[in-house]
A and B are shown apart, each in its own frame.
Chain A
Amino acid sequence: MRLLKRYKTYILPSFIFLMLLWGSAIITQVELHTLFAGIPRGVNLLLSMFPPDLSVMPELLYPALETVQIAFVGTVLGICIALFVGMFAASNVNKNRILREITRGLLSAERALPDLIVLLFFVTIVGLGAFPGVMGLAFSSLGMLGKLFADAIEEIDPRPSEAIAAVGATRLQIIRFAILPQVWPSLIANSLFRFEINIRASIFLGVVGAGGIGFNLIMHMRQLEYQQAMSAILVILFMVVICERISDVLRKRIIGAEVLK
């Protein structure tokens, strides 16, 4: 009996798990000798990347800036829409249950949609350039931010809004003076988090033709200009780290200040 229980809880799941691993290895054509054969090639690649060709830096700075700008504008646009939609999805702002459930359903459907599909879709509609990137990032931020905002709004202390509703405040005044001050810190923290995700997505946008530094990187790699590609990699790493630092500092400052109040 004990053996059977043991079989059911440990041996059978492990067996299935191992079989799945094995099957995945076959499907993805795992060949360890390719990997080992790749090691000298990898060393060669890294050697041919050094020293990075810094003379292309001036050409890289503008696309790098463009990448940050796309992420920034996309995030801000996403925040504006998500804030509006989040209000509709929060039970203490929107009393209409059917409308609320529909909004929540749409938000979770958007979250399930992979960013790649959203971005490809917008590139196809709006054409190449920065604008489809901005729209795509805004739309793909909407699902996550809308849900997080709605949850933050639902968790607020209801007393301030009841108090000012009792003295005859309008719906807009309640949102402005009782709800926004309470959700402000979590809203900013979530937005900064999404900005960090969008920076990475924005690098990828260059690959599907929406401008930015990703395009320069993939172009240099394809033309086998490894020293130039290394410069692009350095610029990207620098950009990502700086943006993360800035958003870290801002998050600490803003949330710290709000908590102290």
Chain B
Amino acid sequence: MSYSLFDLDQSTKNLKQKKNKLYTPIFRRILLPGIVLMLALGWSVFALRIRPGHFFDGLPHFFNLVSEMFPPNWEVLTRGRVLFSVLEVLSMAFLGTFIGGLCAFLLALPASGSLSQSGSIRAFFKGILAFERSIPSLIIALLLIVVIGLGPFTGLVTVAIGSIGMLGKMFGDAIENVDPKPLESLKSTGATKIQIIRYAVLPQVIPSFIANTLFRFDINLRVALFLGVIGGGGIGFEIHLAMSLFRYADALAITALTLTVIWFAEKVSDYLRKKIIGKEILQ
């Protein structure tokens, strides 16, 4: 067998096409986005007036700060207010997650396809959840401070409202993914909607509900810390206060306590997650 001239011609043509194909994507997929990214980055750095020198200017200040932080002033912890504030953060996150989860569950039921037939109702509830998800907690907290006033109760309501969007979406997804067979068999025996939810939907989704709620609890511990700074109660306020009054040794002691408590709370939530989900799967 011998190659004809035509074949050779054809193969060079293919090669050329391949070459063209190889080069355009490199420009379009790597070079162009890269240039755009670099330009955006350069413009931002320029507009924010960031100089690496700033960092080195801050370095001596950093060592000063560290030397002032040590030794941490543990006596500050004996003040009743501080210990109580830590409890406030824990309670805000705990009760807030619970209430938020409850509301999210009630909103997720009509938002999921397997339970509600009407498309417009579903779209409406999905829209509410999506909108809620995009509101930063800062805005919710600032509005609630005017409505309820300063204090841990405001923080609690903020945490609860802030959890609804994310938990509602996760619950809705879990409900949509249930096995439809138990639902249909219950429906065919004439069960009411509440009975269907109780005996066909809940047993399937409870493990994922608990896992998601515990995950949100971890997030809410951090949200609750932030809320203290703007007046929502809790230990965040004490840390911010100590830092802005230059009482760094106090700040370090309070921070250490906060970290320990958060770490411990996360361990407990991890343990519960493993225990409850493990049990449910074994059933």
The residue on A at minimum CB distance from B222 is: A114
Restricting to A85-133, which residues have a CB under 8 Å from any CB of B? Answer: 112-117, 120, 124-127, 129-131
Min CB distance B266 to A, Å, is 7
**Could you tell me if B88 and A27 are in contact, using CB atoms closer than 8 angstroms?**
yes
- How many interface residues does B have (CB within 8 Å)? 62
Q: Are A28 and B155 in contact (CB under 8 A)?
A: yes
| Residue A60 interfacial (CB < 8 Å) | no
In the complex, the answer to whether B134 meets A114 with C-beta atoms within 8 Å is no
Chain B residues positioned under 8 Å from A126 (CB to CB): 54-55, 58, 61
Q: Contacting B142 at CB < 8 Å: which of A73, A218, A244?
A: A218
B225 x A116 contact (CB < 8 A): yes
Q: Does A154 contact B (CB under 8 A)?
A: no
Contact of B153 among A28, A73, A117, A208 (CB under 8 A): A28
B230 touches A218 (CB 8 A): yes
How far, in whole Å, are A204 and B200 apart by their CA atoms in the complex?
Answer: 43
Q: What residues of chain A lie closer than 8 Å to B259, measured between beta carbons?
A: 112-114, 117
B92 near A28: Cβ-Cβ < 8 Å? yes
Q: A45 with B48: in contact, given A28-B91, A116-B236, A207-B138 (CB under 8 Å)?
A: no
What total of chain A residues lie within 8 Å of the partner, measured CB to CB?
57
User: What 0/1 pattern do residues 54 to 86 of B give for CB contact below 8 A with A?
Assistant: 110010011001000000000000000000100
Say whether B255 contacts A34, CB under 8 Å: no
Q: Which of B83-121 contact A (CB under 8 A)?
A: 84, 87-88, 90-92, 94-95, 98
With a cutoff of 8 Å between Cβ atoms, the chain A residues found around residue B124 in the complex are: none
A28 touches B88 (CB 8 A): yes
**29 pairs, CB–CB < 8 Å, chain A vs chain B:** A24-B92, A24-B94, A28-B92, A28-B153, A30-B95, A34-B149, A35-B148, A35-B157, A65-B47, A66-B47, A72-B40, A73-B48, A73-B50, A112-B259, A112-B262, A112-B266, A114-B259, A114-B262, A116-B222, A116-B225, A116-B226, A117-B258, A120-B239, A124-B65, A130-B50, A131-B51, A135-B55, A221-B146, A233-B139
10 interchain residue pairs of minimum CB distance: A24-B91, A69-B44, A24-B95, A130-B48, A28-B152, A27-B91, A38-B147, A42-B147, A126-B58, A28-B156
Residues of B within 8 A of A (CB): 29, 40-41, 44-45, 47-51, 54-55, 58, 61-62, 65, 84, 87-88, 90-92, 94-95, 98, 134-139, 142-143, 145-149, 151-153, 155-157, 221-222, 225-226, 229-230, 233, 236, 239-240, 243, 248, 255, 258-259, 262-263, 266
CA distance A20 to B91 in the complex (A): 8
| Contact call B255/A69, Cβ cutoff below 8 A | no
> Which residues in B have their C-beta under 8 angstroms from that of A39?
147
The interface residues of chain B lying within 8 Å CB-to-CB of A113 are: 259
Q: What chain B residues lie within 8 Å of A208 (beta carbons)?
A: 229, 240
Interface pair A69/B47, CB less than 8 Å apart = yes
Contact B54 A120 (CB under 8 A): no
Q: Which residues of B are found within 8 Å of A135, using beta-carbon distances?
A: 55
